[in-house]
Amino acid sequence: MYHAWLVPLLPALSFAVISLLTKQWKWLSATISIGAMVSGFIIAAFIAVGVLQHPGLINHPLVYSLRWLSMPGFKVDAGILLDPLSAMMLFMVTLVASLIQIYSLGYMRGEKGFSVFFAYMSLFGASMLLLVAASNLLELFVAWEGVGVCSYMLIGFYNHKISAREAAKKAFVTTRIGDTGLLLGLLSLQLIFGTLNIADLAQKIPQFQNIPLLITVAVLFFLGPVGKSGQFPLHVWLPDAMEGPTPVSALIHAATMVVAGVYLVGRMLFMFASVPPVMELVAWVGGFTAIFAASIAITQREIKRILAYSTISQIGYMMLGLGVGSLSAGFFHLWTHAFFKALMFLGAGSVLIGLHHKADVWEMGGLIKKMPITAVTFVVGGLAISGIPPFAGFWSKGDILDATLASGHTVLFVIGSFTAFLTAFYIWRMIFLCFFGKENPENHPQESPLVMTIPLMILALFSTVAGLIGTPWWDVWGRYIHFGTYVPPVANWPLMIGDTLLGALGIYAAYLFYCKDREKTKALAARQWFGGRLYDVLYHKYYLDELYMWFNHSMVDGVARLMYLFDIYVVDGIVNGVGAFTVAAGEGLRVFQTGRLQNYALVFFLGVLAVGVLLAFTGPHATLFLGGVR
């Protein structure tokens, strides 16, 4: 366990080596990158075993650190914090990242920036792993922005495309807005508690009495996770982020980076739990985002966009779980979601390769015949996210709904349950449209190579079994990852059966609309099904993008232009005015330069007179000034 620092370091070295040395040799670069990540995974697996053997780490995490910065009143010790939570994240991130990098060997084959892609993937891995293992919030923030910048680079990977360029910029600026709040939160914590070490804060914050102040700090702090994890109203960047290569969408914008916000809230749950109003806020933001994004996902046509809104919605679930106080449930969903969502994104990537980047689900159909592995694994992912037992999503989503109900949030419970129905509906709409029904004669799909399908199969396996470690009958998960005292779960049969029915109902509804009567629905959609307006509003994502765009272009740019005009006309006007005045004064004073000796003599005489008067009235000090330097 003392080698945990190697896990982030290896990919960091890989980044340095690739970008400085081996960029010319594509396969060598890829090998280095994958080698670093797989080694990281092996270490992380040993760490996980170690953590399981030391239950004491649950309440007393292992911390080791180095002095990073020190000045009077401000010290930063950067290091590694190991407890079940961070060990789980290390394991999950290295596993998913390894699989996705291997998949990328096939997906990115023949791309121009092959080495650069792997360099960025390594840098991303390093930042993400540092983020989850950080023992200090400032260190965490460095990693937090590091994953952000990798995301920026990778969204803009095809930066010759204008859409990719704009999406990258949008992602960075939008998350930056949230990060500004987080930064303010960090500053406040440092000022109030004099430390940013997570372990120290965990001791000090629960004792802190000034609740209104802590509420302000926690709300500011929460803005960071809202931006990073694509929660309403800062979610707008995530769907556009799909401009990046698909493995990036899978790794960064589904499985790992976007859940960093959830991780941070979970890591700092001791702070949020001290201020119940903020917990309510977290829960409501999560619940609202879940249903909001799900409603948009129903109408989208691009396969990756549907998955992106699905991700936003699922992260909403995780926030809901944390907000109602269940660290265990929120993170369980994070864990299972990483597998099934990565699976579905990689599956979508496989479809896109097979169809030469045709992304509209309405133009697909019957792909299961030509792409059986992709289709079957995708269906596994679909079952998992829809909450059909025994697939992974059933257990984790059930835990969240259970915790929501148990904490007395009935409205949020209803929202969550309805979202579960919507989720099954929109995911299976996509599955039926893509893989089932009649084949589109324009398409000539073929199954992807093994280097891509093997990761799919492994992820499908995890999507099936990853939930089994947290069942009411065998709850390894909850015993290790929980907040406060551990309460063994009880099987809530009505809820479990209800969940399953909701999911099944969603799938059945999707079957009716998109498999059985596909052509009829298509005609309906073309005629703006669902009563015109509503469909439009959903399809255009509630027009939020347009609103933000308007704000940015007319307000922000307007102020900028105003300031600039002020600068060149008022500020410079004054400066130039002073200049012109000086010139004019010079012209005026020229009058006195008469060139007549008599005039000069007169002025000289008056000057001497003045000095004489001054000397006479001011005494010895003046002598010192005027000729008396000695």
Partner 1 sequence: MNGFPILSVILFAPVAGALLLVFIPPAEHKLIKAVAATATFVSLALTVYAYAVYDQAVGGLQFVERVPWIKDLGVTYFLGVDGISLPMLLLIAIIGFTAIFASWNVNMRPREFFILFLTLVTGVMGTFVSMDLFIFLLFYEVVVIPIYIMVVIWGSTKRVTKEYAGMKLTIYLLVGSAFLLVAVIAVFIQALLITGKPDFSIYGLARVAFPLGFQRWTFAFMLFGFGSLLSMWPFHSWSPDGYAGAPTAVSMVHAGVLKKIGGYGLIRIALLILPGGAAYWAPTIAVLGVAGAAYAAFGALAQKDLKYIVGYSSVSHMGYVLLGIASLNVIGINGAVANMFAHGIMAALFFSTIGFVYEKTHTRWVPDLGGLFQQMPRVGVAFVLAGLASLGLPGLISFVPEFTIFLGSFGRYGGLSVVAIATIIITALFVLRAVANTLYGPRREEYDHLTDIRGPEMVPLAVLGTVLVVGGLVPSLLFNMINSGVTPLVASVTHTLRIGGVL
Residues making contact with partner 1 (CB under 8 A): 67-74, 138, 141-142, 144-146, 149, 156, 159-162, 164-166, 168-169, 172-173, 176-177, 180, 183-184, 187-188, 190-191, 552, 556-557, 559-564, 567, 571-572, 575, 579, 621, 624-625, 629-630
Q: Which is nearer to partner 1, 114 or 332 (CB)?
A: 114
* 386 and 374 Cβ atoms separated by less than 8 Å: no
Dist. CA 249–CA 344, nearest whole Å: 10
Q: How far is the CB of 573 from partner 1 (least distance, A)?
A: 10
**Residue 172 or 292 having the CB closest to partner 1:** 172
The encoded tokens of residue 155 equal 């969204």
For the four alpha carbons of 616, 622, 626 and 628, in that order, the dihedral sign comes to positive
Provide the minimum distance between the beta carbon of 154 and partner 1 in the complex, in angstroms, as a whole number: 13
User: What is the smallest separation between the CB atom of 564 and partner 1, expressed in angstroms?
Assistant: 4
Contact 514, 429 (CB under 8 A): yes
15 or 107: CB nearest partner 1: 15
Of the candidates 411, 228, 399, 428, which has an alpha carbon nearest to the alpha carbon of residue 310? 428
Tokens of 420: 């579960």
110 CB-contact burial (10 Å; exposed 0-12 / middle 13-18 / buried 19+): exposed
Provide, rounded to whole angstroms, the least separation between the CB of residue 191 and partner 1: 6
Q: Which two tokens stand for residue 86?
A: 């961070």
Is the CB of 184 or the CB of 505 nearer to partner 1?
A: 184
Question: What's the rounded Cα separation, in Å, for the pair 107 and 244?
Answer: 12
End-to-end Cα separation, the chain, in angstroms: 78
Look at residues 331, 408, 410, 404 and name the one whose alpha carbon lies nearest to residue 84. Answer: 331
- 8 Å CB contact between 472 and 491: yes
Least distance to partner 1, CB of residue 170, Å: 9
Q: How far apart are CA 522 and CA 362, in angstroms?
A: 8
Nearer to partner 1, 570 or 609 (CB): 570
**C-alpha span between 622 and 624 (Å, rounded):** 5
Nearer Cβ to partner 1 (465/583) = 583
Smallest distance from partner 1 to CB 141, Å? 6
CB nearer to partner 1: pick between 52 and 183: 183
Closest CA to 266 of 484, 5, 95, 489: 484
DSSP classification of residue 318: H
Q: Which residues pair with 470 in a beta bridge?
A: 475
The least distance separating partner 1 from the CB of residue 240, rounded to whole angstroms, comes to 14
CA distances from 360 to 151, 269, 574 (A): 24, 41, 59
Shortest Å distance, C-beta 575 to partner 1: 6
Q: How far is the CB of 442 from partner 1 (least distance, A)?
A: 28
Give the nearest distance from C-beta 371 to partner 1 in angstroms: 33
User: Of 48 and 242, which has the nearer Cβ to partner 1?
Assistant: 242
Q: How far is the CB of 125 from partner 1 (least distance, A)?
A: 15
Nearer to partner 1, 75 or 479 (CB): 75
Distance CA 346, CA 461 (A): 14
Residue 435: how many other CB atoms lie within 10 Å: 24
Of 160 and 527, nearer to partner 1 (C-beta) is: 160
By beta-carbon proximity to partner 1, the closer residue of 3 and 561 is: 561
Assigned token pair, 316:
């909403």
Closest CB to partner 1 among residues 556, 613: 556
Q: How many CB atoms lie within 10 A of CB 108?
A: 22
The nearest distance, CB 493 to partner 1, in angstroms, is: 49
CA quadruple 427, 433, 437, 439: dihedral sign: negative
The CA distance from 407 to 516, in Å, is 41
Structure tokens, 133 = 């293992």
